[in-house]
Amino acid sequence: MDITTLGELLIDFTEAGLSPSGMLMFERNPGGAVANVAAAGARFGLKTAFIGKVGGDMHGQFLKNTLTRYGVDTRNLLTDGESFTTLAFVALGEGGEREFSFYRRNLADLRLRADELDAELLSGTKMLHTGTLSLTAEPARGATLGAVLLAKRAGAVISCDVNYRASLWESEAEFAARSRELLRETDLLKVSAEEAEVLTGFSDHERAAESLLNEYGLYAAAVTLGERGAYILTRRGGAFAPAYYADAIDTSGAGDTFWSGFLYSFLRSGLSLSELDADAAAPFLKFANAAASVCVERRGAMPALPALDEVIARLRRQTGAARCV
């Protein structure tokens, strides 16, 4: 397996206009940050798998069928007949920016247990990608950390997306404390500028990346900067790549598409973690930004994921030169 992801798989109910009676309508879209990475990787041609849990309801079956249709291995996607699938209602603002309302307390994705993990899958994957949303409650927190340790012992690269949603945590301090447990085992980190500031106290993305790299011994920390582009700091220098022009209507899944594009580029390169430097990372960022620019021009998260040929076409149409800094 190229990438195995573990964490949340959920329904995004996204604003979809008004009904004839003037009531707000919502469209059911498959989503979940780590699940999006698995689906996007499969779209790029990687072998991907997803580990998690959905409820024994119509939404859970829909999500499992969706991942299967995308080509994601779902052998360790479990169904919990005693709980419901997590839901998120998504309001879209100007430029496709989102506001979330989560229905997640005691729901299926948080009920994944460490003893339910497929050890063979985790021991045989090149990379394990997870995020911080599965750290909000037990037993999913223990399952996440257990999976990371198992995969790392087997030689897998550990990737993490710091995904902060204020309504899911008691405080920023709790979020930061729980994130540190995972970051100590992480090799490749993706974080937004806002999340980086929460974790480090630095509003400057370069200082924040340096702080994260030094504190946790990362091989690379990528900071997404929205419409400005993205910055990455490796142990051997940093690089910046501007964003590609896009007529954004929905930014759902953009960060996940970006990170999947970066991980795809890294795996395809054949480089080891110790070989990753600014010169190598710069074109990876270009590809990642191009992928994200395609995603934001469509509605939904998973339904908006681009195919490999679409990203290549975007790269050819726009230069978006990256530079080492």
| Residues with active-site annotation | 256
Tell me whether residue 314 is exposed, middle or buried, using C-beta atoms within 10 angstroms of its C-beta: 0 to 12, 13 to 18, 19 or more.
buried
CA distance 271 to 228: 27
CA 252 to centroid of chain Cα atoms: 11
With the C-alpha atoms ordered 255, 258, 262, 267, is the resulting torsion angle positive or negative? Answer: positive
Tell me whether residue 136 is exposed, middle or buried, using C-beta atoms within 10 angstroms of its C-beta: 0 to 12, 13 to 18, 19 or more.
buried
- Are 37 and 11 in contact, with CB atoms under 8 Å apart? no
Instruction: State how beta strands 98-103 and 87-92 pair.
Output: antiparallel
CA distance 256 to 170: 25
CA distance 291 to 244: 9
Instruction: State how beta strands 48-55 and 237-242 pair.
Output: unpaired
- Are 176 and 201 in contact, with CB atoms under 8 Å apart? no
CA distance 295 to 89: 19
